[in-house]
């Protein structure tokens, strides 16, 4: 059931997801109020079994309700990670954001950090590296409250990638130190952080130093977005080695994806330039 909710949500527009989540929340509050009213009623007419049953139903239903909310969150994340729809994902982040809307809790630092971290990520994916850095400058890594260490690593990860593609790598070692200094309780989180550190180190070799680095050839992707990014990075590595046929194969495999992604735009640009040069040679 929950997987079905994820898939359904991933196909919705931002406005529909927000309405759907609000509707689920409204129904739960309505149900909780009804159970509370029944509790008071049964307490007045002195039927202990029924009034305790009514009051216990509230936390039990909440336990059932939480996975539904989690499925909605996982569903909207797939809009970016699987459907690669940057614009639709941004609509959702802005719609959910208390910070953006100015609602109650908008001054909360955690809300602000969540919003700007997502905006920085989306600007990076579009290839707007300066705009991504500007979004990161609006917050501090210490502002995160939920998944604190994971988000801190992601903050520095985005900062490092932005600076690599801008050619501003003077303080890259300091950024890597911040990433590696985080401590994680689970092995899964620790592994993810290590992968991001290795990605930064590998891209520095490929983009900054123009060295060969086969890291991305063997890296497993968690989702479609990661696969597109890793494919592009692997293509850049082959480009450094002058292996143009392999570059063409890798870049061609991602050109049908969302052209809003800078990796797709750059891959298309490379292929078009190669085709143009080939046509000139034939003439």
pLDDT tens, residue order, the chain (283 aa): 567 777 777 777 777 777 877 787 787 788 777 777 777 777 777 777 776 776 777 777 777 777 777 787 788 889 999 999 999 999 888 887 777 766 555 567 878 898 999 999 999 999 999 999 999 999 998 888 767 888 999 999 999 999 999 999 999 999 999 999 988 888 888 899 999 999 999 999 999 999 999 899 888 888 999 999 999 999 999 999 999 999 999 999 999 999 999 999 999 999 998 876 654 554 5
| Cβ 51 vs Cβ 43: under 8 Å | yes
Rounded Cα distance between 2 and 4, Å, is 5
Q: Confirm if 90 and 122 have CB atoms less than 8 A apart.
A: yes
Ordered by start, the domain boundaries in the chain are 1-83, 86-211, 213-283
SS3 category, 277: helix
**Four-residue CA torsion sign, 178, 206, 199, 73:** positive
Own/partner pairs, 19-27, CB within 8 angstroms, 24+ separation: 20/72, 21/69, 21/72, 21/96, 24/65, 24/68, 24/69, 24/72
Residue 145 sits at φ, ψ, to 5 deg, of -115, -45
């Amino acid at each position: 059931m929950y997987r079905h909710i994820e898939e359904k949500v991933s196909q919705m527009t931002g406005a529909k997801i927000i309405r759907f989540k609000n509707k689920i929340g409204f129904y739960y509050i309505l149900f909780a109020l009804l159970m509370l009213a029944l509790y008071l009623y049964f307490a007045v007419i002195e039927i202990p079994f029924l009034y305790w049953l009514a009051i216990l139903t509230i936390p039990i239903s909440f336990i059932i309700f939480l996975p539904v909310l989690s499925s909605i969150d996982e569903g909207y994340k797939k809009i970016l990670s699987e459907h690669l729809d940057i614009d639709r994902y941004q609509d959702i982040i802005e719609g959910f954001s208390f910070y953006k809307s100015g609602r109650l809790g908008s001054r909360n630092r955690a809300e602000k950090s969540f919003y700007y971290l997502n905006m920085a990520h989306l600007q990076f994916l579009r290839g707007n590296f300066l705009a991504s850095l500007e979004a990161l400058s609006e917050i501090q890594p210490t502002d995160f409250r939920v998944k604190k260490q994971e988000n801190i690593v992601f903050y520095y990860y985005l900062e490092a990638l932005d600076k690599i593609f801008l050619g501003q790598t003077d303080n890259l070692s300091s950024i890597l130190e911040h990433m590696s200094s985080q401590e994680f309780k689970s092995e899964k989180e620790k592994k993810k952080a290590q992968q991001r550190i290795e990605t930064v180190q590998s891209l520095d070799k490929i983009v900054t130093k123009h060295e060969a680095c086969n890291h991305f050839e063997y890296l497993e992707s968690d989702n479609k977005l990661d696969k597109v990014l890793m494919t592009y990075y692997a293509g850049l590595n082959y480009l450094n080695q002058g292996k143009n046929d392999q570059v063409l194969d890798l870049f061609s495999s991602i050109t049908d994806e969302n052209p809003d992604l800078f990796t797709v735009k750059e891959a298309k640009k490379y292929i078009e330039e190669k085709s143009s040069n080939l046509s000139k040679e034939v003439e």
